[in-house]
Structure 1
Amino acid sequence: MSEQTKADYIDDVSVDEEWDAHPSQSELDEAVESLEASGFEVEVVPDAEAALDFLTEEIPAEASVMNGHSTTLEEIGFTEYLTEGDHDWENLHAEVFSIDDDQARAKARREAQTADYFLGSVNAIGREDGTLVAADLSGSRIGAYPFAAGHVVTVAGVNKITTDEDAARERLQEYAYAFENERAQEAYGVESYPSKELVFRQETVEGRTTVVLVEETLGY
């Protein structure tokens, strides 16, 4: 099926659009400062094209690359680039989903969590305390974030910046989940649920986790 964006579900959910508001410049600066204080590398880029350029330059040749599902990665063109672009990376996602046997594919998905570079997004960011919040049903998207992957790169529109951890978790529950539930039903025929939630408060390994903040509305 074709890639989907939030616009495909906007008429099917009832949410408070204030959760998608952009921060002021001072609030964005505060988010960057707090995230860096929490041990994250931060890159602020103006648009989706610049975000894709950053990723293609950041990931070295011959690195193994895996990604969890991310509407944001689809919107900036990374998902397509990983599949069809001119790069020398090892595309673990393609390798995993080329496996026909269910048990073997599940095993390969777990092993792919240890990729050199694991890419995805988050559902919300706390600007005051430098926290990242994300959740999914199976954990396959966020499982690599805390420890397994060599490097983690999360890409998020500035619309995901909230005040603090509590607000970030509220955004996840009250806003992002509504869209993900619609997407899951269309894509997989089942409802989703934020059953496995990650609050990423601090990165202790220097240079391991990078947050790319895009000054556009991306994802949900």
Structure 2
Amino acid sequence: MELYPPSLIKNLQRNNMAGFQVQDKKELLELLRTLIADGTTVGCGDSVTLEQMEVFDDLRKRKVNFLDKFDPSLTKEGKREIYLKNFSADTFLTGVNAVTMDGTLFNIDGNGSRVAPMLYGPKQVIVVAGVNKITEDVDAAVKRARQIAAPLDAKRLNKATPCAALGRCVDCRHKERICNDFVLIAGQFIKDRIKVILVNEELGY
């Protein structure tokens, strides 16, 4: 079953990124098991989508070296060490704020630990996105990230920013602002290094 216009997958491929379509969590986890080999090192970024799909829980059960940034025993320095190890991971898993119909990826990040490995380092980057992340173009992607994703994420993280209270971006300069890095990935040198999996559900922010 086609989830989106075929042009979206074709445009991802045109930009040297692979595109996949799955219907639900079961299909997603099955696909990830084929893309991520046992014995490899897997890093991740914060992602409500991956939490909802129980991807992190599945990785913890697998025979992989999961760089689990969510381990409650980690100190601030220990978490930073994981962030640096993500650059040499075999696979880096993450969500995304928006996927445009012409096959680009847009993210807003707070400290860069999620977007930096997407740009460089890991041999493979797997991006998982629900139908709600699809936007017509980059302008719509930026608007979606700033007015929908960022306020919800700031609230989830218990930030004292205006957007967390108002539910919308006011382009603040608050010390806890999470909208620090605006990153558009328009293509890749290495074919299929980035793989985008589209799930036929509304997921994350």
TM-score range (shorter-chain normalised) is: 0.7 to 0.9
Task: Give the whole-Å Cα distance in 1 for the aligned partners of 2:89 and 2:105.
Answer: 20
The aligned amino acid for 2:25 is: A
Q: Relative to structure 2, which stretch is displaced further, 201-210 or 103-112?
A: 103-112
The aligned amino acid for 2:85 is: E
Post-superposition, which runs of at least 4 consecutive aligned residues in structure 1 deviate over 4 A?
94-99
Task: Give the whole-Å Cα distance in 2 for the aligned partners of 1:171 and 1:95.
Answer: 26
Task: Give the whole-Å Cα distance in 2 for the aligned partners of 1:152 and 1:178.
Answer: 26
Aligned CA distance change for structure 1 residues 144 and 96 (closer, same or farther; 3 Å): farther
Q: Quote the sequence identity (%).
A: 29
Alignment check: 8 A CA contact 2:69 2:79 kept = no
Superposition deviation, residue 96 in structure 1: 7.6
Query: Could you tell me which residue of structure 1 aligns to residue 97 of structure 2?
Result: 123
The aligned amino acid for 1:203 is: Q
Note the alpha carbon deviations across 1:65-119, whole angstroms, 9 max, x for none.
0111100001111011122x2x21111126986544x435423421223211000
Query: Could you tell me which residue of structure 2 aligns to residue 202 of structure 1?
Result: 187
Q: By percentage of residues, which structure has more helix? A: 1
Query: Could you tell me which residue of structure 2 aligns to residue 216 of structure 1?
Result: 201
Alignment check: 8 A CA contact 2:44 2:69 kept = no
Aligned CA distance change for structure 1 residues 158 and 197 (closer, same or farther; 3 Å): same
Q: Relative to structure 2, which stretch is displaced further, 115-124 or 44-53?
A: 44-53
Alignment check: 8 A CA contact 1:133 1:165 kept = yes
Could you tell me which of 167, 174, 185 is aligned with 2:158?
Answer: 185
2:21 corresponds to 1:44: yes
Task: Give the whole-Å Cα distance in 2 for the aligned partners of 1:97 and 1:139.
Answer: 21
> SS of 2:188's equivalent?
coil
2:27 corresponds to 1:55: no
Note the alpha carbon deviations across 1:24-45, whole angstroms, 9 max, x for none.
x695322112111111101101
Query: Could you tell me which residue of structure 2 aligns to residue 16 of structure 1?
Result: none
Query: Could you tell me which residue of structure 2 aligns to residue 82 of structure 1?
Result: 59
> SS of 1:50's equivalent?
helix
Task: Give the whole-Å Cα distance in 2 for the aligned partners of 1:155 and 1:113.
Answer: 19
Query: Could you tell me which residue of structure 1 aligns to residue 113 of structure 2?
Result: 140
Aligned CA distance change for structure 1 residues 105 and 73 (closer, same or farther; 3 Å): closer
TM-score by length of 2: 0.84
> SS of 2:158's equivalent?
helix
Alignment check: 8 A CA contact 1:116 1:151 kept = yes
Q: Relative to structure 2, which stretch is displaced further, 192-201 or 145-154?
A: 192-201
Task: Give the whole-Å Cα distance in 1 for the aligned partners of 2:121 and 2:72.
Answer: 20
Could you tell me which of 81, 88, 107 is aligned with 1:114?
Answer: 88
Aligned CA distance change for structure 1 residues 60 and 165 (closer, same or farther; 3 Å): same
2:10 corresponds to 1:33: yes
- RMSD of Structure 2 on Structure 1 (CA): 2.3
Note the alpha carbon deviations across 1:157-196, whole angstroms, 9 max, x for none.
021111111211111111111111111117xxx9552211
Unaligned 5+ residue runs, structure 1?
A: 1-24
TM-score by length of 1: 0.79
Unaligned 5+ residue runs, structure 2?
A: 160-174
